[in-house]
Amino acid sequence: MGILDGIAGKVKSDLEWKAGQTISDTVAKGASAVTGKGAKAAPSNACPKCKKAIPDPRPKFCPGCGASLMVTCKKCNAEYPTGTNFCTGCGAKL
């Protein structure tokens, strides 16, 4: 009886240990998935309105919301992506 009790006790503790491992694995995976999502930064080449990534070559209008993605220089009519402050062709403020 003593030996059987010992084996039963060992099997039980093994199962509990495995169950604990599985649970901690799942928790670790879940935590990393959440951190990965939160750490993901918005792409720099994104629509200023809807934050959708803008494909290359940059279109004039956002494929997600249709917002204009280009600014035109009033002086020389050169076109620049939105967010550009000055025309590099004539120095005018955009």
Q: Which residues bind Zn ion (CB under 5 A)?
A: 47, 49-50, 52, 62, 64-65, 67, 73, 75-76, 78, 87, 89-90, 92
> Closest approach of Cβ 83 to Zn ion, in Å?
13
CB 66 → Zn ion: shortest distance, Å?
7
Cβ atoms of residues 33 and 51 within 8 Å: no
Q: Which is nearer to Zn ion, 19 or 92 (CB)?
A: 92
Which residue(s) pair with 79 in the sheet?
72
Return the sign of the alpha-carbon dihedral for residues 26, 30, 31, 35.
Answer: positive
